[in-house]
Amino acid sequence: MSKPFILFRLQQIDNKINSARSRLDEIEIGLKDDSRLRRVQEQTETISQTLQEAQKALQTAERNVQDQQAKIQQSEAILYSGKVRNPKELQDIQSEAVALKSYLIVLEDRQLDTMMIVEEAEIKHKEVSKNLKSVEAETTAKVTNLEQEKLNLLRDLDLLESERHVAIGGASPDDLKIYELLRTQKNGVAVAKVSGKNCMACGSTLTAALLQAAQSPNQLTRCASCGRILYVG
């Protein structure tokens, strides 16, 4: 195998390794990111609390109405019992009964308003509970998929590392040193393929002498413009 081909093949392997490691980093971030689920959980807890408070308020309103109805019944029982004969006392009891009935209307209106609040809270609670179940299912599926992808990438990385070890064995230490330096300096592209008469990395037109030199299997020829190793595939 020619020197440029060995390094070009090594670059392909390294690119795949870098891509796999980059994706693994993304997966780790994705596995730790439960912000959406937590946001929906918090929303559900808030609405659940609102519903509980509304239900308690409704219970209080219902008790107030029942207590007021009991007071009215008690007042009317005294009024119609015949035990009170004093006109002034009868008038006072009648006035009290009227006042109690007037306030009962107020309490019943409050009870109705609270019932509507409870109904609205129940509707919202059903909606967010349904949404929470959906998000929980999506989160579980996402984690399962990411974990499987992670396992596949780790297996791929093992194979790529083995391939890289074999590829490195075919290159000289000096060639590897140049390759690694260029990888660092040229954003990971140390070896540029030649297309026609052009360097595919920078697009510059190569001289006839460079083209001829790049075809030699026993030497490394570098682009006069970008400095990358040229590979004639």
Q: Which helix (H) or strand (E) holds 142?
A: helix 87-169
Closest residue by Cα to residue 56 from 45, 48, 44: 48
Which residues are registered as beta bridge partners of 194? 199
- Per-residue pLDDT of 99-134, as tens digits, reads 999 999 999 999 999 999 999 999 999 999 999 999
Burial of 173 (0-12, 13-18, 19+ CB in 10 A): exposed
The predicted pLDDT at position 35 comes to: 96
Q: Is the pLDDT of residue 86 over 90?
A: no
**Residue 50 above 80 pLDDT?**
yes
If pLDDT is split at 50, 70 and 90, which confidence band does 135 have? very high
> Quick one: pLDDT at residue 21?
97
Q: What is the dihedral of CA 83, 89, 90, 95, to 10 degrees?
A: -140
Percent of the chain whose predicted confidence (pLDDT) is above 90: 91
Supply the pLDDT for residue 90: 79
Per-residue pLDDT at 37 exceeds 90: yes
pTM, 2 dp: 0.76
Written as six digits, the tokens of 190 are 């140390």
Query: Which single residue is written with the structure tokens 């990888």?
Result: 183
The sheet that has 198-199: what strands, in order across it?
A: 198-199, 191-195, 229-231
- Which residues are paired to 193 by β-bridges? 231
Other CB atoms closer than 10 Å to residue 133's CB: what's the count? Answer: 12
Q: Cα–Cα distance between 15 and 8 in angstroms, integer?
A: 11
- By CB atoms closer than 10 A (0-12, 13-18, 19+), residue 22 is exposed
List pLDDT tens digits, range 158-187.
Answer: 999 999 999 999 999 999 999 999 999 999
Q: How far apart are CA 119 and CA 125, in angstroms?
A: 10
- What is the rounded CA–CA span in Å between residue 46 and residue 123? 14
